[in-house]
Amino acid sequence: MAETAFTADDFRPAAVTESAQAVARPSLSYWQDAWIRLKANRRALFSLYLVIGLSLFTLVGPLIWTVDPSLQDLEQISQPPGADRDATVVAPHRPWDGAPELPLRSGLSLAASPTTQSVRLVWEPLPDAAGYRLYRNLFPAAGGQALGLPLFETFNLREPSAGEREGATPRKNQRRFEDRLDLKPRSYYYSVAALDAQGQMTGDVHRLELTVTRVITAQEAEAMGLVEDASLLNPGDRIKLRAHPLGTDYLGRDLLARLMAGARVSLFIGIAAPLLFIAFGVIYGAAAGFLGGWPDQALMRFSDFVVALPFLLFMILLRVASGVQPGESGITPMVLAMVLLSWPAAARLVRGQILQIREEGYISASRLLGGGAPYLVLRHMIPNTLGVILVTMTFAVPTAIFTEAFLSFIGMGVAPPTPSWGSMCNEGIKTMLTTPHELIFPALFISVTVLAFNLLGDGLRDALDARMRSAE
């Protein structure tokens, strides 16, 4: 215990300062205060930026990336993300009469330069062959009989009958083949195997490795809008194909353009449906809470009844009952069904709040001062529940987006060619293993959107909670 020495100074009255009573900070409204707290929440702020970014993507994106989402680019089907692909201009495809354009080599050889339009092959006879089978492979063929995908067979199981002319079936002696099946600019390994009289492989094989070049006809280039006039192009010219920054889908449609078009559908449903059903729920809940007594009981029992309806089943039934004609997009019935089935949650929440607020002192004061019922509800009660409503709204948006995606995924949503994220996932999942980007992009957009709205809702709830005001 140290001893403290007092001096006279310690007992002098404090000087009167003017600033002691001054307000340190400007007065904050409820919303300003909430905004400050939301800004402090970095997760919520980031989500807000994401939501703004998505809106820009949906509304401004199509103005910048002006590609028709239903334009089919059959030269570039299921292409992974990337740009800067070019092709050589060639003449339109003509049936092949078998005449070679290139000098033939021994064994299996090319009759014309291999292009994505066609690969023309000619081969020399193999010893003791009663027929041939032509295979194509993406990998160098190993030993054995696994030569790849059989494309063509000249062997005919039917033996020529006694009176039959030699070569009545021209396919039997054919030693050429034109491959047009799904050719991509890459290396292929062709092999032609000799078949014995029973149709079994004799073991003699000609092999050929070749690299296919990407080509396009002038007409196709014009149809796709790559050039103004097809007659300006000459065979051999090189032109740039359409760029697809996020790749293309199974019909060669631009994925970025489809994602934008899909976002319009998804976000429209995701925002329109919650706006409508929450507006209805607020009116319904406010009426029930304010009236109280038996009207309240009746209204809330009816909302319980609506809650008890199996959501998905009714969703589908309503869609069917609304008589969607073939080819019409089912957006309106979908929104309608969501509104009809989703309002009770908001109604219950608002009714609870109103019941609470009704007993508050300021309501009594207002009433004593002559405030009528509409005035009380509109001026005092609903504004005081706005925070709750806003939070419900932000949580309802991702749910609605998810429901739309789900319904489109099971084929109950929008009609082709209108894309939506859900239907794009449905199409992408079929080719998940070979071209995963068709599934990953729409799935990513759904996930990010749903997550952003959820985190934003979370942040808003924290920010709008009046009880947390004193924490500042």
Partner 1 sequence: MTKAPNPSGESAFNRSAARQLALFGVAIVVGLVGLMWGLNLLASLTATAGGVPPAVDVANNAITVMLTEEPPQLDSTRSTDQVSGIVLGHVMEGLLRYDDRGELAPGMAEAWRIDEGGATFHLRADARWSDGQPVTAHDFVFAWRLGLDPENASEYAFILYPIKNAEAINQGELPVTELGARALDARTLEVEFERPIAFFDKLTAFSTYFPVREDFYRATEGRFGADADQLLYNGPFALSNWVHGQSLRLDRNPHYWDQARIRLDRINVGYITSDPNTRLNLFKDEKIVMTGLTAENLTNALEQRWHIHRHMDGSVFYLDFNHREGRLTRNLNLRKAMILAQDPGELVYKVTKTPGYLPGESLFPRFLEGVQGKFRDEHPAPTYPMDLQAARAHLEAARRELGLEAFPPLVLLAGDNPVSNIQTEYFQAVFKKNLGLDIKIDRQIFKQRLAKMTSGDFDLVLAGWGPDYNDPLTYGDLYASWNLNNRGRYSNPEYDRQVRIAQGAMDAQTRVAAFAEMQRIIHEDVVIIPNYERGVAYVTHPRVKGILRRVVGADTDYTYAWIEP
Residues of this chain that interact with partner 1 (CB under 8 A) are 70-72, 74, 77, 93, 137-139, 142, 144-146, 148-151, 153, 157-158, 161, 163-165, 168-171, 180-183, 223, 250-251, 325-328, 411, 415-417, 427, 430-431, 433-434
Minimum CB–partner distance for residue 159 and partner 1 (Å): 8
The residue (of 340 and 415) whose beta carbon lies closer to partner 1 is: 415
Q: What one-letter code names the amino acid at 186?
A: R
442 with 262: CB under 8 angstroms?
yes
The residue (of 187 and 454) whose beta carbon lies closer to partner 1 is: 187
CA atoms within 13 A on the CB side of 160: 14
The residue (of 174 and 364) whose beta carbon lies closer to partner 1 is: 174
Q: Which two tokens stand for residue 366?
A: 């207002």
Residue 460: its H or E element? helix 437-464
Minimum CB–partner distance for residue 202 and partner 1 (Å): 16
Minimum CB–partner distance for residue 108 and partner 1 (Å): 19
For Cα atoms 267, 268, 271, give the angle at the middle one, nearest 5 degrees: 80
Distance CA 463, CA 43 (A): 12
Minimum CB–partner distance for residue 169 and partner 1 (Å): 4
The residue (of 64 and 157) whose beta carbon lies closer to partner 1 is: 157
Order of strands across the sheet that contains 201-211: 149-153, 131-137, 187-195, 201-211
**Residue of 396, 398, 416 whose CA lies nearest to 406:** 398
The residue (of 73 and 404) whose beta carbon lies closer to partner 1 is: 73
10-16 long-range contacts, Cβ below 8 Å, gap at least 24? none
Q: Which two tokens stand for residue 282?
A: 């607020």
Minimum CB–partner distance for residue 247 and partner 1 (Å): 16
The residue (of 74 and 309) whose beta carbon lies closer to partner 1 is: 74
Strands 86-90 and 215-217: parallel
Minimum CB–partner distance for residue 273 and partner 1 (Å): 24
